[in-house]
Amino acid sequence: ILTDLSHPVLQTDHNVFFPHIPFAKSAGADIKEMCGKTYPFAFRRNFLAEWERIACTRKPLIAAVCGFALGGGCELAMMCDIIYASETAKFGQPEIKLGIIPGGGGTQRLIRAIGKSRAMEWILTGDMFSAQEAAAAGLVSRLFPPDQVVPKALELGEKIAGFSGLTTLTAKEAVNSGKLGSVLHTICFVPETKMMCYSLLFRLVVCLNAFLPVNK
């Protein structure tokens, strides 16, 4: 499933990619498949490579969660920039009940999304949490009836795609810089990227003005 999702992310030229495909439903890892796997096997397979491809893409990602997002499913949703969910969706990191910990970035992304105390509760208990709790904690942006989640996510994507692609990518990078980087780095980064956008916009206007008289 991660391969099916990561390849379109890398290949598409559009500004927004929606990890909602009819067969792309993830409630977490396949427990039966995990049984019997050794560390050398997992190391050779580099199972986190596909996660990194999705997480590191510069395109805005929108997740539409319509059911259970548990374990790897929750981690997959957290890789996205915006999460829309149905009112009946469930979230959680139940790995501790299997004697393991979240291995796809859950321990790092969850604390940044909902804070240390809530993240500790989710991870140390392995309990499921409702969509309402996830929204109140800041993990989910908006809740909708189940049949409206995907249409609303598509509507949001179309709106974002209508803006300048460069500006959108820069805005995403600036927000992520503020979330993951130091305060000093962020304070320096944002003005620089803002000036870059202004510079490119100015050059575009100059080029258009130079082109128009010739074609009158």
Q: Catalytic residues, which ones?
A: 29, 72, 75, 95
Question: What single-letter amino acid sits at 174?
Answer: A
Say if CB 100 and CB 108 are below 8 A apart: no
Spatial neighbors of 103 by CB under 8 A, at least 6 apart, are: 48, 95
Rounded CA gap, 150 and 147, in Å? 7
User: Which residues in 54-195 belong to E strands, given as ranges?
Assistant: 62-65, 68-70, 82-86, 90-92, 128-130, 142-144
DSSP 147: G
Q: Are 142 and 110 in contact (CB under 8 A)?
A: no
**Number of neighbours of residue 31 by Cβ within 10 angstroms:** 9
d(CA 63, CA 19) in angstroms, rounded, equals 6
Gap between the terminal Cα atoms of the chain? 54
Among 22, 30, 28, 31, which residue's Cα sits nearest to residue 4? 22
